[in-house]
Amino acid sequence: MNSPELLSAHDRCSRAGFWSQSWEANRLHPNEVLRRAIDDGLQHDGPDPGQYAGDSVMTLASERGLDITGNKFECAMHHAALADIIVSAIRSGGPWARPEDRKVKSFTWVSGCFIEANGVRLRRVICVDRWSEERKLSEMHAWRTLGEQSTYGLPMTMTVVLIGQRREGRHSSPWSKGFLHPRSRNLRIAKRSGEKFDGNWIQCWREEQENISRDKWLDAMRADRILNYVLFDVEVPSIDPAFQSKIGQLASRKMEAMAGKEVPPPNISVCDWPSPCQFRNCCWEFSEPSEKTGFIQIA
């Protein structure tokens, strides 16, 4: 795990932060698979980064497994199609790059964001089910934003992707769900009037439409004026240098606290909310992460 993820885990539970330095659950949540696949696609130096992102989903799902109940193959196919089209919509030009690691007080900051080619702005991609002012503040104050900015002293662009809520392994959003005309089979994504399609229109999922290409789906999103609603940028200005120093000191103290040898006590009230902690079974079974309990050791 990189520095922002470790600090985020520590903020939620000191035990989660401590264990996250050495262990990671073998099976991954679909949202984590999607995040990693999008990162892979954005950094891929090849002719089709979207396809590469989709392939990354299938590789992770096959080699690591998905931490869900239900049909895992269908879930993987859905998220592969989602990663493919999101990367294709976001990326233009060459591969994206990470900022160089930087020494911060007593530890080395390993970035989880991207930096623009001119080196003057950080970039971050956020996939969410919905967007609000509360979520905006939460993301701006997260270590993945504030920590990165305090380390590199740069403004950031947060690219927000609305993927909709996940039900039965699928995210219901214009990226994934469309409607076919009952006779012509023309694809539509949304009515410009905001009304719903009547019962004669045929609901379809992108991963099931072999005859509709990714580019055709994106063209339909643009034609129905829905793309800018589910994909937009939020600009975050540079932070004050004095505040930047204090954030760096806070990060250093937290990383030093995680470097101890004694396992912190569990915080059982946050095991399942706002999302299930990967170590929740260890805490409730009074065990520690190991390969026998479904974890892999990380550097």
Domain range list for the chain: 3-290
For the record, the structure tokens of 66 come out as 């998905």
Amino acid at 20: S
pLDDT (0 to 100) of residue 193: 77
The model's pLDDT over 179-222, given as tens digits with 9 standing for 90+, comes to: 999 999 999 999 877 788 988 999 999 999 999 999 999 999 99
Query: Tokens in use for 137?
Result: 């503040």
Q: Which residues of the chain have pLDDT under 50?
A: none
pLDDT given for residue 274 in this prediction: 83
Q: Specify the pTM.
A: 0.95
C-alpha 292 chain-centroid distance = 28
Distance of CA 175 to the CA centre of its chain: 15
Asked whether the beta carbons of 226 and 189 are under 8 A apart, the reply is: yes
Give the per-residue pLDDT at 105: 82
Task: Give the CA diameter of the chain.
Answer: 67
Selection from 30, 288, 254, 66 nearest residue 279 by Cα: 288
Report the 10 Å Cβ neighbour count for 266: 19
Gyration radius (Cα) of the chain, Å: 21
